[in-house]
Amino acid sequence: MSLVNIKIEGRPYQVEEGLTILEAARQCGYEIPSLCSFNHGECNQGSCRVCLVEATGARGLAASCVYQVAEGMEVLINSPKAVAARRTSVELLLSNHNVNCQQCGKSGQCELQNVARIVGAREGMFKGAKTPTTYDDVSPSIVRDTSKCILCGRCVERCKNAHGNGVLGFQNRGFDAKVGPAMDISFADSPCIMCGQCVTVCPTGALLPKSEIDKVDFARAQGKYMVVQTAPAVRAALGEEFGLPIGTPVTGKMAAALRRLGFNRVYDVDFGADLTIMEEANELLDRVKSGGVLPMITSCSPGWVNYAETYYADLLPHLSSCKSPHQMQGAIIKSYFAQAHGLDPKDIFVVSIMPCTAKKSEKDRAQMEVDGIRDVDAVLTVCELGDLIKRSGMQFNRLPEEGFDYDIMGTSTGAGVIFGVTGGVMEAALRTAYRVLEGKEHDAVVFNAVRGFDGIREATIAMGGMDVKVAVASGMANAKILLDQIREGTSPYHFIEIMGCPGGCINGGGMPIVRHCFLPNEDVDIVDTYRAKRARALYTEDERNTLRQSHNNPQIIELYSRFLEKPNSHKAHELLHTTYAGREPFRVQDH
Partner 1 sequence: MARLSGASVARIEEICDAYQGEKTPLVMILSDIQREFGYVPLEVQEVVSRKTGLSVAEIYGVVTFYSFFSLTPKGKHVIGCCLGTACYVKGAQRIIDRFCNDLGIEPGGTTDDGMFTIDALRCIGACAAAPAVTIDGKVYARVDISQVPGIISAYRQMEGGAE
List the one residue from 59, 127, 289, 591 that touches partner 1 (CB under 8 A): 591
Instruction: Pick one of partner 1, ligand SF4, ligand FES, none as the site partner of residue 577 (Cβ within 5 to 8 A by kind).
Output: none
238 close to 390: Cβ distance less than 8 angstroms:
no
> Which SS3 state, helix, strand or coil, does residue 233 take?
helix
Name the nearest CA neighbour of 145 among 85, 186, 192.
186
| Contact status: 107 vs ligand SF4 (CB under 6 A) | yes
Instruction: Pick one of ligand SF4, partner 1, ligand FES, none as the site partner of residue 193 (Cβ within 5 to 8 A by kind).
Output: ligand SF4
Question: What is the phi/psi pair of residue 418, to 5°?
Answer: -80, 0
575 close to 371: Cβ distance less than 8 angstroms:
no
Number of amino acids touching ligand SF4 (CB under 6 A)? 40
Instruction: Pick one of ligand FES, ligand SF4, partner 1, none as the site partner of residue 471 (Cβ within 5 to 8 A by kind).
Output: none
Q: Measured in whole angstroms, how far is the alpha carbon of residue 81 from the centre of its chain?
A: 40
| Contact status: 204 vs ligand SF4 (CB under 6 A) | yes
Query: Which span (127-135, 175-183, 221-229, 521-529) binds partner 1, by CB under 8 A?
Result: 175-183
21 close to 66: Cβ distance less than 8 angstroms:
no
> Nearer to ligand FES by C-beta: 92 or 436?
92
Amino acid at 77: I
> Nearer to partner 1 by C-beta: 326 or 480?
480
CA distance 403 to 383: 21
Burial 446-477 (b: 16+ CB within 10 A, else e): bbebbbebeeebbbebeebeeebbbbbbbbbb
> Nearer to ligand SF4 by C-beta: 180 or 247?
180
Number of amino acids touching partner 1 (CB under 8 A)? 21
| Contact status: 129 vs partner 1 (CB under 8 A) | no
> Nearer to partner 1 by C-beta: 122 or 587?
587
List the one residue from 181, 272, 475, 508 that touches partner 1 (CB under 8 A): 181
Omega before 295 within 30 of 0, i.e. cis: yes
Instruction: Pick one of partner 1, ligand SF4, ligand FES, none as the site partner of residue 183 (Cβ within 5 to 8 A by kind).
Output: partner 1
Which class for 252: exposed (0-12), middle (13-18), buried (19 or more C-beta within 10 A)?
middle
Question: What is the phi/psi pair of residue 111, to 5°?
Answer: -70, -30
CA distance 105 to 261: 21
Scanning residues 149 to 168, which ones bind partner 1 (CB under 8 A)?
156, 160, 165-168
Question: What residues line the site for ligand FES (CB under 6 A)?
Answer: 34-37, 46-51, 63, 65
List the one residue from 3, 84, 125, 183 that touches partner 1 (CB under 8 A): 183
Q: What sign does the dihedral 427-432-433-438 (CA atoms) show?
A: positive
Instruction: Pick one of partner 1, ligand SF4, ligand FES, none as the site partner of residue 324 (Cβ within 5 to 8 A by kind).
Output: none
> Nearer to ligand SF4 by C-beta: 190 or 553?
190
Measured from the CB of residue 358, what is the shortest distance to ligand SF4 in angstroms? 8
DSSP 431-471: HHHHHHHHSS--SSS--GGG-S--SEEEEEEEETTEEEEEE
Question: What is the phi/psi pair of residue 199, to 5°?
Answer: -65, -40
> Nearer to partner 1 by C-beta: 178 or 326?
178
| Contact status: 533 vs ligand SF4 (CB under 6 A) | no
> Nearer to ligand FES by C-beta: 46 or 292?
46
Measured from the CB of residue 417, what is the shortest distance to ligand SF4 in angstroms? 25
Q: HSE (CB half, 13 Å, CA atoms) of 293?
A: 13
> Nearer to partner 1 by C-beta: 5 or 172?
172
In this structure, the dihedral spanned by the alpha carbons of residues 263, 268, 271 and 273, taken in order and rounded to 10 degrees, is 120
Angle CA(219)–CA(224)–CA(229) in degrees, nearest 5?
80
Instruction: Pick one of ligand FES, ligand SF4, partner 1, none as the site partner of residue 106 (Cβ within 5 to 8 A by kind).
Output: ligand SF4
Measured from the CB of residue 160, what is the shortest distance to ligand FES in angstroms? 19
| Contact status: 173 vs partner 1 (CB under 8 A) | yes
Q: What is the contact surface with ligand SF4 in residues (CB under 6 A)?
A: 97, 99-101, 104, 106-107, 110, 112-113, 142, 148-155, 158-159, 162-163, 167-168, 179, 192-198, 201-207
